[in-house]
Amino acid sequence: MILVKTEAGHQALKDRSVRLTPRQRSAFILFDGKRSLNDVLEAGMGIAREDIDQMVELGLLGQVGGSSDAANAGADGKPAMPDVPARVPSAPPTEMLPVASSLPSERSSQQRYKDAYPIATQLTGSLGLRGFRLNLSVEGTSTYEELVELLPKIRAAVGPEKVAALELALVG
């Protein structure tokens, strides 16, 4: 199977709105529409199939041969990969609210951070130049507690309606 970066994938690579591990990022770059899935797995990057599946589920990668819309999502809004179970809708992180809200409330701090980080980077990244420092602060976080400390600044910058998804990911 040959995968290629979707438009959402190109955007995420450019603005870093979706946090990828260094291995995922290196493997992601290799998906050029010419290399097969096995070629990338065997490239010696230490990437696992689960990492690639996650990028597909997030809508960052799609199969070669479809239109750009088909590569981003199928007719049901799920990633267009028949052999990979689609658990997360192909949508920007702020639209992933139902996924975050359906998780049990006893999530670990690490899981809460993992759920909230992409939302925070998208919110602050959408502010443009006026939110540049705030975006850098968000990207500099590595723990749940650090992200919670920035929540009031993010709320003040984007407003209470837009920050609701982030708050839910952090506390819900």
Does this model's pTM top 0.75? My answer is no
The whole-number pLDDT of residue 55 equals 85
**42-60 per-position pLDDT tens digit:** 877 778 888 888 888 888 8
Output the six-digit token pair for 62.
Answer: 């799609």
SS (H, E, C) 13-33: HHHCCCCCCHHHHHHHHHCEE
- Helix/strand/coil percent split, the chain, to 5: 60, 5, 35
Closest CA relative to residue 97, chosen from 46, 149, 168: 168
Instruction: Say what the pLDDT of residue 72 is.
Output: 40
Asked whether residue 156 carries a pLDDT value surpassing 90, the answer given is: yes
